[in-house]
Amino acid sequence: MIPDSNSRVKLLKIKFKNMKINHLRKEYSRLTLSRNDLKTTPLSQLKIWLEDALSANVLEPNAMFLATVDKQGMPSSRIVLLKEIEENGLLFFTNYRSKKGRDIEDNPYGSATFFWKELERQATFFGQIVKVDEERSQNYFATRPRASQLAAWASKQGEKASSRSEIDEAYTQEEKKWEGREITKPPYWGGFLLMPSGATFWQGREKRLHDHFLYSKNSEGTWDTARLYP
């Protein structure tokens, strides 16, 4: 007999209650990474791994954990979507007044980590973060769906709201304000470019002996690579 959805939820709850996360263990054995596979720059290597993630139908392949550090040295992280691999960096868009935006203003360094679990792969990038020019941000903003454009105006990203309806109301107000008009980019919204000075690529392997490589930029501006212990 197939259990109904309530019984299924009950069964799942029992399963999770008895599950010990310290007992979760997975062997990684799908793929390997050798020094000969590595492209000459970390951004061209990222392109290959993103294409692999797309082909493998990974959910949100361009989602990256962006870590920033505030004035006091306190780190924080959150996911943002990579929108473009530029010649010298990773481009993402956000609200400049958000926590991450203020952190970057105060301390213009950060890291971004991708995890493609279906491929047992991780890639990390670290370096300086700079604002992109207004024109670049405007061009991208113009390609966003109208609802996302309105949300950019309505959202005071990261600020406390008294209720959900306050947020919905702010959106409705923006809808009215922009009715029948093209929506321009808010001045506090735009792109950042993380320009890596280093990167790592990690491929899960058997017995926890993973493949792990570091790219570091040398004084000539080209990239050295080294194999790291996993």
Ligand X SMILES: Cc1cc2nc3c(=O)[nH]c(=O)nc-3n(C[C@H](O)[C@H](O)[C@H](O)COP(=O)(O)O)c2cc1C
- Find the binder of ligand X among 37, 41, 70, 78 (CB under 6 A): 78
Catalytic residue (one of 30, 146, 208, 227): 208
Q: Is 79 one of the annotated binding-site residues? A: yes
Q: Is 100 in the site for ligand X (CB under 6 A)?
A: yes
- Find the binder of ligand X among 158, 172, 197, 226 (CB under 6 A): 158
- Smallest distance, ligand X to C-beta of residue 147, A: 15
- The answer to whether 73 and 109 have CB atoms below 8 angstroms apart is no
CA distance 108 to 68: 8
- For 101-108, the CB contacts below 8 A with 24+ separation are 101/188, 101/192, 102/70, 103/68, 103/69, 103/70, 103/76, 104/68, 104/129, 104/192, 106/70, 106/71, 107/68, 107/69, 107/70, 107/71
- Smallest distance, ligand X to C-beta of residue 130, A: 16
- Find the binder of ligand X among 31, 37, 41, 63 (CB under 6 A): 63
Q: Is 79 in the site for ligand X (CB under 6 A)?
A: yes
- Looking at the DSSP bridge assignments, the partners of residue 201 are 123, 213
Q: Is 76 in the site for ligand X (CB under 6 A)?
A: yes
Q: Is 99 in the site for ligand X (CB under 6 A)?
A: yes
**Quick check: is 146 catalytic?**
no
> Could you tell me which stretch among 72-80, 108-116, 121-129, 215-223 binds ligand X (CB under 6 A)?
72-80
> Could you tell me which stretch among 7-15, 95-103, 122-130, 203-211 binds ligand X (CB under 6 A)?
95-103
One DSSP character per residue, 161-184 reads -S-HHHHHHHHHHHHHHTTTSPPP
Q: Is 26 one of the annotated binding-site residues? A: yes
Residue 14: Cβ within 10 Å count: 9
- Smallest distance, ligand X to C-beta of residue 213, A: 27
- The answer to whether 206 and 29 have CB atoms below 8 angstroms apart is yes
Q: Is 147 in the site for ligand X (CB under 6 A)?
A: no
Query: For the chain, how big is the Rg over CA atoms in Å?
Result: 21
CA distance 212 to 230: 6
- Smallest distance, ligand X to C-beta of residue 93, A: 6
Q: Is 157 in the site for ligand X (CB under 6 A)?
A: yes
Closer to ligand X by CB, 69 or 214: give it: 69
**C-alpha closest to that of 70 among 28, 25, 100:** 100
* Binding site, annotated residues for substrate: 25-28, 83, 140, 144, 148, 208-210
Catalytic (active-site) positions? 208
Binding site residues, ligand X, CB under 6 A: 60, 63, 76, 78-81, 92-95, 98-100, 157-158
